[in-house]
Structure 1
Amino acid sequence: MMTLRMVLLGSAVGLALGWLAVPAAAGELEDYRSALEEFLAENGLAGGTLFVRGPETEIEVVAGMAETGTRRPVTPDTRFYIASTGKMMVAAAVLAHVEKGDLDLDAKVWPLVRDLPGIDALEGIGEVTLRQLLNHTSGLADYLDDSFVGAALLDMKRRWSEAEALAFAYGEPAYGAPGEIFEYSNSNYVLLGHILKNRSADLEAALWESVFVPSGMLATTVGASAEAADLAHGYAGETGNTDVSQLSWASVLADGPLVSTARDVAGFLQALMREQRILKADLLEEMLAGSKQDDSYGLGMANGGDDWGDWYGHSGSYDGFEADARYYPDADLVLVYTVNGNSVTDTDLLDLAAGIYFDN
């Protein structure tokens, strides 16, 4: 089943956030529809959403099933776990505190995390700065290894605490000295979540104030309850048919805490990048700039370039779910997809979507 949502001139939400949209040509809609359907079929995925918003058009195509057992279709309101794509929002919330003067990018984080049980067993933690957590140059070992995933699969409903998860990295050798190399480590963002929680009632409250409200992300939550009727179920395993939804719905640590819609993710990128509703220009520039260790990753934000221009965004993948988001500032174009499975080919749906947009 395929559903199309097109936002027309005069949308109240669009006016509030500073963008307007007009319908796309029928041929363009068909191109996006075909791209999504072919991507799902090629990768054996149950369902997904592709969202495109430019200065003069907004298109959302959805396809497939949110839940295979009941054959419930994906709709534009279906919420997907977005895995590491949520790191952008966590980083933005941390940087909002930096902008307020509550946190210092280049100060060591030890005073902010030393209350975590056993944290002194995390090699290198005493010398790590906030900036190094954000841009993955801390050198800290990654807790999210096969041992953790195996333990999580044994009890998929379990909501792990920061200390319980980080314990899988305790005693493991650091990847390098702080600031020496870039090495992507989910431990960095678990620690950032702990820092945010200590400044608010909980992680969701911290994100709500700094990110969700300014971005209009009203459908987004930290984790999810299985009773919610709008959730996509996640499928993994050798055949891609095993329902592992609970694993992601219970993932409430800040390395990948969010369940959201493609529309909400798109709203975040434009609120951050174009409207600057979350951060002012100077700090946003720091967020976007890559480090000397890896110029393709800034403070919770990846960057790249292709035939159509430079872009910023973040991908995410965990058992049963995958997402990616990209913003082209020169074109004021945002592209987002969410699916309830894991791709197995090299096809990049956002590359396909960008090609369709720029060729029309």
Structure 2
Amino acid sequence: MSKPAIFNRRASFCFDRALQLLLPLFLYLLMVSLPGIAAAPEEEADLAKEFQLTLDALQKQYGFPGATAAYILANGTIGLAATGVADMETTTAMTVNSRMLPASIGKTFVAATAVALAQEGILDLDTPVSQWLGEQKWFSRLPNHNVITLRQLLNHSSGLPDYVHLESFSKAVSRKWRDNDNPFPPEDLLCFVLDLPPLFEAGKAWAYSDSGYILIGLVIEKATGRSYYNEIKERFLKPLSLTLTTPADSRFLPGIVAGYMAADNAFGFPRKTTTADGAMVWHPGFEWTGGGLVSNSRDLVFWGKALFEGHAMSGPYLAELLKSVAISPDTPDIQYGLGVGIYRTGPFGPVYGHGGWIPGYSSSLRYYPDHGTAIAFQINTDIGIAENTNNLMHTMESQLAGLVISANNRVKAAE
């Protein structure tokens, strides 16, 4: 009766010993037959290191105070990096959670809201905006007021002058930036372009205009009966868990880093954007739906990937968002859709996205549809960028894209 028991123990020992001897060979053969098991994580780890090193090298090369950057690969892998300082005076280090003003990247949220409302039948993109704002006393004084449509406002073909670059606006800001409350409600911003001649017949050319996006914000609020900021909170910020993105509707924006600008800037602002207690020196509310957010590179890549892969809202909205016009007859491949810049051709294929500039901060969001990859970065200065005297933004976009997309392709091949 004992033999079977002895046999079983010996058999078990022999099996265990054989497994110990054969397991390394089995695992080796498995790794050879399925190279993605080891190769993909290794590629991703190498990319994360190189991404940080590249950002560090760019900071040293150009001497900007600091930056954050982020990417998302086609498989959803996320990479975050930060370099330099968030405050030059205190030498506080920049972190991956540091926040800055992304400026006109906020237009992507405005356009997404307008397209969502159109899909819901609340707005019509091709109906003149006079349907919503025509009763306002100031409306008839707008250039092209009787014909401009939401689509033309969204793609910058309305012919409205841009208040941001008018001398009258710069002078007004210089006088009023010390006000603690927002000195320029939306209607006041439009006052700077009232009674001016249109830049061109609506729909016949292209000219970037924040004025048009202020009008879009007013239309959204009139059509929905809710504030614009409530709309994007409920539609995008909460559902997509963009926790580091909030309205820039106060001088007190938690987590915002100090930005730096030229001492002789057009608005007469101090060189540094924040005070000792972290508050903004000037109220950022003058941007509103021309941008109007405080955000972070991580949130921006999440948003870019969701928006440009068709997952930011329900319905087939992406084709509408990407309906575009050329910004110039001389550059037919450079186009603008509904709140999105489009490069039809490039070294990595098409590019969708937006840049952002506001005194003290510069930002970029780009999505590469051929590669399923999004990249964003924010820099806490606009020196040399606002004046277009250096190629920092282009260099960062090119170098980071080359690095990330090459790694993305290797990861896809290994999976």
- Encode CA deviations 1:153-183: one digit per residue, 9 max, x unaligned: 4333452111111111112211111111111
> TM-score by structure 1 length?
0.86
Question: Superposition pairs for residues 127-206 of structure 1, below 5 Å?
Answer: 127-145=147-165, 146-156=167-177, 157-159=180-182, 160-198=184-222, 199-206=224-231
Which of 7, 10, 32 is the equivalent residue of 2:51? 32
- Encode CA deviations 1:189-246: one digit per residue, 9 max, x unaligned: 0001111222243221011122223332222111154444411122101489811344
Classify 1:285/1:71 alpha carbon distance in 2 versus 1 (closer, same or farther; 3 Å): same
Aligned to 1:242: 271
Aligned to 2:72: 53
Aligned to 1:353: 400
Which of 363, 379, 393 is the equivalent residue of 1:339? 379
Distance 2:153 2:348 in 1: 31
- Encode CA deviations 1:227-281: one digit per residue, 9 max, x unaligned: 4441112210148981134446334510111111111111112222225232522
Q: CA deviation at 1:293?
A: 6.2
Q: Percent identity?
A: 26
Aligned to 1:107: 127
Q: CA deviation at 1:140?
A: 1.0
Classify 1:23/1:206 alpha carbon distance in 2 versus 1 (closer, same or farther; 3 Å): farther
Q: Which moved more, 1:55-64 or 1:92-101?
A: 55-64
- Encode CA deviations 1:54-84: one digit per residue, 9 max, x unaligned: 0343211101222223222221211110011
1:248 and 1:318 in contact (8 A); partners too: no
Q: CA deviation at 1:358?
A: 2.9
Classify 1:292/1:96 alpha carbon distance in 2 versus 1 (closer, same or farther; 3 Å): same
Classify 1:207/1:200 alpha carbon distance in 2 versus 1 (closer, same or farther; 3 Å): farther
Distance 2:250 2:192 in 1: 26
Aligned to 1:328: 368
Classify 1:151/1:38 alpha carbon distance in 2 versus 1 (closer, same or farther; 3 Å): farther
Q: Aligned residues, how many?
A: 339
Distance 1:23 1:207 in 2: 38
* 1:98 pairs with 2:125: no
Distance 1:113 1:185 in 2: 18
Consecutive unaligned residues in structure 2, runs of 5 or more: 1-39, 274-279, 408-415
Aligned to 1:218: 243
Question: Superposition pairs for residues 211-290 of structure 1, below 5 Å?
Answer: 211-223=236-248, 225-238=250-263, 242-244=271-273, 245-247=280-282, 249-281=284-316, 283-290=317-324
Classify 1:293/1:326 alpha carbon distance in 2 versus 1 (closer, same or farther; 3 Å): closer
Q: Which moved more, 1:45-54 or 1:250-259?
A: 250-259
- Encode CA deviations 1:91-134: one digit per residue, 9 max, x unaligned: 00111100100000110001212354523221211210111010
> TM-score by structure 2 length?
0.76
AA in 1 matched with 2:74: P
Aligned to 2:12: none
AA in 2 matched with 1:336: A
Distance 1:263 1:200 in 2: 31
2:237 and 2:243 in contact (8 A); partners too: yes
Query: Over aligned residue pairs, what C-alpha RMSD do you find?
Result: 2.3
Aligned to 2:24: none
Q: Secondary structure at the match of 1:309?
A: coil
Q: Secondary structure at the match of 1:51?
A: strand
Consecutive unaligned residues in structure 1, runs of 5 or more: 1-20
1:112 and 1:195 in contact (8 A); partners too: yes
AA in 2 matched with 1:143: Y
Q: Secondary structure at the match of 1:88?
A: helix
